[in-house]
Amino acid sequence: MSVTIVVGTRPETIKMAPIIRELEEQKTDFHFIHTGQHYDYNMSLQFIKELNLPSPDHSFVLNNNKPALQIGEMMTKLDDVLHKFKTKLILIQGDTNTMLSAALTGIKLGIKVGHVEAGLRSYDWRMPEEHNRRMVDHISDILFAPTERAKNNLVEERVHGKVHVTGNTIIDAVIQNMSIAEKCSKIIQSIIFKKFSLATIHRAENVDDSKTLNGFVDAFIESPIPIVFPAHPRTIKRLKQQKLLEKLEKSENVQLISPLGYFDFLVLMKNCEIILTDSGGIQEEATAPCIRKPVLVLRLSTERPEAVEAGFVKVVSVNKNNILKSINDSLDKSPKLPLTSPFGDGKASEKIVKIIEYINSCK
What is the CATH number for 184?
Answer: 3.40.50.2000
Domain around 228: 178-333
Mean pLDDT of 9-25: 94
Q: Is 278 within a domain?
A: yes
Predicted confidence at residue 306, as pLDDT, reads 97
Q: How much is the pTM?
A: 0.93
Q: Is 339 within a domain?
A: no
Whether residue 76 sits in one domain with residue 12: yes
Whether residue 201 sits in one domain with residue 128: no
Predicted confidence at residue 83, as pLDDT, reads 87
Q: Lay out the sheet containing 227-230: strands in order across.
A: 254-257, 227-230, 197-200, 274-277, 295-297, 313-315
Euclidean distance between CA atoms 23 and 31, whole angstroms: 10
Predicted confidence at residue 39, as pLDDT, reads 64
Euclidean distance between CA atoms 135 and 334, whole angstroms: 39
Euclidean distance between CA atoms 102 and 105, whole angstroms: 5
Q: Is 172 within a domain?
A: no
Euclidean distance between CA atoms 288 and 168, whole angstroms: 11
Whether residue 15 sits in one domain with residue 151: yes
pLDDT band at residue 183 under the 50/70/90 scheme? very high
Whether residue 197 sits in one domain with residue 62: no
Q: Which one is catalytic: 83, 160, 202, 232?
A: 202
pLDDT band at residue 50 under the 50/70/90 scheme? confident
* C-alpha dihedral sign at 60, 257, 319, 306: positive
Q: Is 341 within a domain?
A: no
Euclidean distance between CA atoms 81 and 101, whole angstroms: 13
Nearest by Cα to 348 from 4, 14, 6: 14
Better-predicted residue by pLDDT, 111 or 335: 111
Predicted confidence at residue 1, as pLDDT, reads 61
Euclidean distance between CA atoms 344 and 7, whole angstroms: 22
Whether residue 182 sits in one domain with residue 135: no
Whether residue 155 sits in one domain with residue 243: no
Better-predicted residue by pLDDT, 363 or 57: 57
- Could you give the number of structural domains in the chain? 2
Look at residue 334 and tell me whether its pLDDT is greater than 90. Answer: no
Look at residue 10 and tell me whether its pLDDT is greater than 90. Answer: no
Q: Is 173 within a domain?
A: no
Predicted confidence at residue 125, as pLDDT, reads 87
Q: Is 14 within a domain?
A: yes
160 is catalytic: no
Q: Is 188 within a domain?
A: yes
Whether residue 184 sits in one domain with residue 112: no
Digit-coded pLDDT (tens) for 265-288: 999 999 999 999 999 999 999 999
Maximum CA pair distance of the chain?
63
Whether residue 56 sits in one domain with residue 37: yes
